[in-house]
Amino acid sequence: MSVTAKKKTAAKKDTMATATLPATRLSKELHLRCYRTMVLSRTLDEKCALLLKQSKGGTFQIVGPGQEAAQAAASLVFRAGVDWSYCHYRDQCYNIGLGVSPEEILLSFLAREGDPASGGRQMPSHFGHAALRIVSKSSCVGTQYLQAAGRGLACKYEGKGEVAYCSSGEGTTSQGEFYEALNFAALHKCPTVFFVQDNEYAISTHRSEETASASIYDQVAGFRGLHRIRCNGLNIEQTYNAIKEAHERASRGDGPTLVVADVVRLWAHSSSDNAALYRSKEEIANLDKRDPIKLEEAFLIEHDFATRDELDAIKAEIKQQVDRAGNWVEEQPFSKDALSHVFFEGPQPITSPGPAPKTEGEPQVMIDMINRAMHEEMRRNDKIVVFGQDVAKGKGGVFTATKGLTEKFGIERCFNSPLAEATIAGIACGLAHGGGWKPLIEIQFGDYIFPAIQQIVNEIATCRYRSNNAWANPMVIRVPVGGYIQGGMYHSQSIDSLFAHRPGLRVAIPSRADDAKGLLKAALRSEDPVLFMEPKFLYRQARAKAPDPGEDYTLEFGKLRVVLPGRDVTLVTWGNTVLKAIDAAKEIEKSLGASVEILDLRTLNPWDKDGILESVAKTNRCVVLHEDFLTGGFGAEISARIMEEAFEMLDAPVLRVAAKDVYCPYGAALEEQVLPQTAWVVEALTRTLQY
C-alpha cells in the first residue's frame, strides 16, 4: 500500500476510534482557563520565532502549535508539585498549564540566568522545574518512558496516590524502550500515564512508515494490565476525560494507561526544518482547519462562554504580557556557569576519608564482602532497592552477590527485573529522581551493559549537570567485568575506558575484598551515580581475600593503595591485573634486584593522579598495566598526564601493558595471547629499568 493510501486508512480509523468517547462537559471557567493557557503558549512560540529571526540569542526553536488543546487538558489533571512530569519537548503548553511562567520559558530560550530547566545548559524546550516536579529532560527521545515507569514504582512504594506523567510523540514510540516501559509498568502496576501525542510525523517520517499497525494504540493491544484510551487531542473535553480516567486509575492503584491523543503539527518540526519538503501543498493548506485554538474559539462562542471581542481582548492582553516578559528577559544576564554540578558538591563518604579498616579476623572472599556490604547498607537505609536479572530469591544472582537479600528484606526490595538492561538502568534512573530512593542495580555481565548505555551515559551521568543541580541520579550500578576465566568474547570484556571517560559518573574497580566492601558502602551512601565494576575472576580468589573491614568502614574514592612499596619503578594498575603486577614484581626482584612500587588505583573516576606523581617523583620510571584494550585504554590517559605534568622527573618513557586490540577468545591458549600476562609485565618493567 502506498504511503498516501495508508494515511487515508489511518484517518478513517481515527474517526472511528475517537467517536466512541464520552463527552463530559467542562465548566466555562475551565474552558477559559485552557484557552488562556493555549493562547499564552502560542504567543510565546510566536515571540520566540521572532527573537530567532532578530538573532536576539536563541539558535533553535521547537514548538507546539496544534498540540495545545491536548496539553492544556492534561495540565488540568496532573497536580503541579505532587505528580511527576516526564515531558516531551513539545510540551510547552502543558508546562505553562502546570505553572511555568512566560519569563521562565523565555529565560530558557535565551539562556539567561534563572532558567529553571537547565541554567542555560540545554537547548530550549528541554523542560525541567524542580518545584513543579517537572523532571529534567534530555534531548534523547524515548528515554523518558522507563524513567516515568521507575518513578511510578516509587509512587507505588510511597502509597500517596501520586502519579507519573510521561509524554512523547508517536514517532518516539518506535524506540524499544517504549515497549520495555509498558511491559515493566504493566508488570508492576506502576501508576504511570503514558501520553502519546500523535501528530502523524516524526520530523518528516509519517506514522505509516513508523508503525506496523494503524496507530500505536492498536500496536500495544496485547499488554495485560495496560489500559488504553484513544482520543481526539484537538478537543479539550475528550482529552481531559481520557487523561482524568488514566490518572484516577493510576492514583487508586489500578496501574498504567496509554492515552493516544490525535493532534496536528501546524508548524514545521523545528526552526531547522521545512515541512514543504515532505507535506503536500494541499495538506499544509488544510492544517488551519484543525487549529485547536480556532476550534476552541468556535466552541466558546457557540456555547456562549465568550464573545469574539472578549477572546480578542484575552489575546491582546496575553500578547502584552509576553512582550513585557520578553523585554525583562532581554535585560537579564546570560548564564555563565558552565563548569559546576557535574557531581554533588557537598561532603559525602566517597569524597571524605572514612574510618580505619579493621584488620583482624578471618580473611573473606570478595563476593562475600560485597554481599555483606549490601546486607549492612540495606539494613541501614530502607530506601535501597536491589534489582537486576536473577538477583532475587534462592538464586541471588549468577555469582551469588545478592544472595539472601530477598529473604531478608522482602521481594519489594530485591526483585528480578525483566531480561532487559535498558529497563534496569531506566527504571533505576526514574526511581532515583526523588524521595531518597537509592537503586542498587546489577547488570549481569559488563559485556551486556550496552543496551543500558543510553540511560547510563546520556541520562544518569548527565542528570545533575544538565538540570543545573535541580535533579540528580544517586544510584549504584554493580557489574561483574573482565576475563582470565575462559569466558570468551562475551563474558570477558573490560569496560573501564568507556565509562571512566564520562563526566558525572563515578567509577570504582576494587581488587581486594576489604576495598570492595569499603568502596561499595561509600557508593551506597553517595549522592552521585557510581559504576561499580567487580572483576569476577577475583570474586573467590584466595589472593584477593581480606578480613572484614567493619560495618562502618567506607573508603574514599580517588585514593590509590600502595600494594607493594618500591624504589626503582612505579607500576600503576587496577582490577584483575593487580595480581599480575605482584607476580611480575617478584620476578623483577629476582632477575634484576630492582624494587617495584605497585599502585592499585581502586577508582578511575576520580583517579589518584597526585598519588601516582608522588610515586613517580621517587622512582622516575613508570609502567601502566590494565586489562582493557591498549588503544584508547585508560592507561593512555595516565601516561599522557605523567608526560604533561612530570616530564622532568622521568628517566624513561612511560610504557603501557594492556590487552591486545583483539576480542578475548575462549580457548585457554587463545585467551593467553590477548589478555596481559605476567611475562609481558616483566618485559615492560625490564625495558623501563634498562632504558
Contact with ligand TPP (CB under 6 A) among 32, 72, 141, 596: 141
Q: Which helix (H) or strand (E) holds 684?
A: helix 678-689
What's the CA gap between 372 and 84, in Å, rounded?
35
Q: How far is the CB of 271 from ligand TPP (least distance, A)?
A: 13
- Nearer CB in complex with ligand TPP: 182/508: 182
| Catalytic-residue membership of 188 | no
Give 534's strand partners.
480
- Nearer CB in complex with ligand TPP: 168/232: 168
Of the listed 269, 491, 501, 626, which one is catalytic? 491
Determine the interface stretch with ligand TPP among 32-40, 140-148, 505-513, 548-556 (rule: CB under 6 A).
140-148
What's the CA gap between 528 and 460, in Å, rounded?
9
Q: How far is the CB of 339 from ligand TPP (least distance, A)?
A: 25
Is residue 508 within 8 Å of residue 499, measured between CB atoms?
A: no
What's the CA gap between 400 and 371, in Å, rounded?
8
* Contact flag: residue 90 with ligand TPP (CB under 6 A): yes
- Nearer CB in complex with ligand TPP: 6/358: 6
What's the CA gap between 525 and 518, in Å, rounded?
11
Determine the interface stretch with ligand TPP among 134-142, 430-438, 505-513, 572-580 (rule: CB under 6 A).
134-142
- Nearer CB in complex with ligand TPP: 176/503: 176
* Interaction pattern, residues 259-298, with ligand TPP; x per rule: CB under 6 A: ------x---x-----------------------------
Q: How far is the CB of 265 from ligand TPP (least distance, A)?
A: 6
Is residue 513 within 8 Å of residue 401, measured between CB atoms?
A: no
Q: How far is the CB of 150 from ligand TPP (least distance, A)?
A: 18
Give 194's strand partners.
166, 258
Q: How far is the CB of 16 from ligand TPP (least distance, A)?
A: 22
DSSP 8-state secondary structure symbol assigned to residue 409: H
Q: Which residue has the cell 475517537?
A: 18
Q: How far is the CB of 64 from ligand TPP (least distance, A)?
A: 8
- Nearer CB in complex with ligand TPP: 216/624: 216
| Number of neighbours of residue 511 by Cβ within 10 angstroms | 25
Give 112's strand partners.
334
* Contact flag: residue 206 with ligand TPP (CB under 6 A): no
- Nearer CB in complex with ligand TPP: 344/450: 450
Helix axis angle, 68-77 relative to 28-53, nearest 10°?
Answer: 130
Closest-approach residue to ligand TPP (CB): 169
- Between residue 167 and residue 196, which ones bind ligand TPP under the rule CB under 6 A? 168-172
From the list 233, 99, 96, 79, the residue with the least C-alpha distance to 164 is 79
3-state secondary structure of 475: strand
- The count of chain residues that interact with ligand TPP, using the rule CB under 6 A, is 16
What's the CA gap between 104 and 334, in Å, rounded?
13
What's the CA gap between 343 and 417, in Å, rounded?
28
Give 258's strand partners.
194, 228
3-state secondary structure of 627: strand
- Nearer CB in complex with ligand TPP: 140/650: 140
What's the CA gap between 34 and 58, in Å, rounded?
27
Contact with ligand TPP (CB under 6 A) among 37, 147, 183, 199: 199
Q: How far is the CB of 199 from ligand TPP (least distance, A)?
A: 5
Rg of the chain over Cα atoms, rounded to whole angstroms, equals 29
* Interaction pattern, residues 582-621, with ligand TPP; x per rule: CB under 6 A: ----------------------------------------
For residue 63 the three cell numbers come to 514548538
* Contact flag: residue 213 with ligand TPP (CB under 6 A): no
Question: Which is it for strands 569-573 and 622-629: parallel, antiparallel or unpaired?
Answer: parallel
- Between residue 107 and residue 126, which ones bind ligand TPP under the rule CB under 6 A? none
| Number of neighbours of residue 558 by Cβ within 10 angstroms | 19
DSSP 8-state secondary structure symbol assigned to residue 143: H
* Contact flag: residue 462 with ligand TPP (CB under 6 A): no
What's the CA gap between 542 and 589, in Å, rounded?
23
What's the CA gap between 507 and 509, in Å, rounded?
7
Q: How far is the CB of 21 from ligand TPP (least distance, A)?
A: 22
- Nearer CB in complex with ligand TPP: 279/315: 279
- Nearer CB in complex with ligand TPP: 198/534: 198
Q: How far is the CB of 198 from ligand TPP (least distance, A)?
A: 8
Contact with ligand TPP (CB under 6 A) among 49, 52, 140, 630: 140
* Contact flag: residue 402 with ligand TPP (CB under 6 A): no
Q: Which helix (H) or strand (E) holds 197?
A: strand 192-198
Task: Give the up-direction half-sphere exposure of residue 639: CA atoms within 13 A in the CB hemisphere.
Answer: 18
Q: Which residue has the cell 523518558?
A: 144
Contact with ligand TPP (CB under 6 A) among 96, 111, 182, 202: 202
For residue 62 the three cell numbers come to 521547537
* Contact flag: residue 137 with ligand TPP (CB under 6 A): no
Give 384's strand partners.
438
For residue 439 the three cell numbers come to 537503586
* Contact flag: residue 203 with ligand TPP (CB under 6 A): yes
Is residue 574 within 8 Å of residue 604, measured between CB atoms?
A: yes
Determine the interface stretch with ligand TPP among 12-20, 201-209, 321-329, 636-644 (rule: CB under 6 A).
201-209
- Nearer CB in complex with ligand TPP: 175/511: 175
Q: How far is the CB of 318 from ligand TPP (least distance, A)?
A: 24
Q: How far is the CB of 172 from ligand TPP (least distance, A)?
A: 3
For residue 108 the three cell numbers come to 530558557
- Nearer CB in complex with ligand TPP: 90/129: 90
What's the CA gap between 22 and 10, in Å, rounded?
22
For residue 568 the three cell numbers come to 626503582
Contact with ligand TPP (CB under 6 A) among 9, 15, 59, 139: 139
Q: How far is the CB of 67 from ligand TPP (least distance, A)?
A: 7
- Nearer CB in complex with ligand TPP: 172/570: 172
For residue 331 the three cell numbers come to 535585560
| Segments in 561-677 forming alpha helices (H) | 577-592, 609-619, 634-646, 668-674
User: What does the binding site for ligand TPP look like in residue numbers (CB under 6 A)?
Assistant: 90, 139-142, 168-172, 199, 201-203, 265, 269
Residues acting as catalytic residues: 491
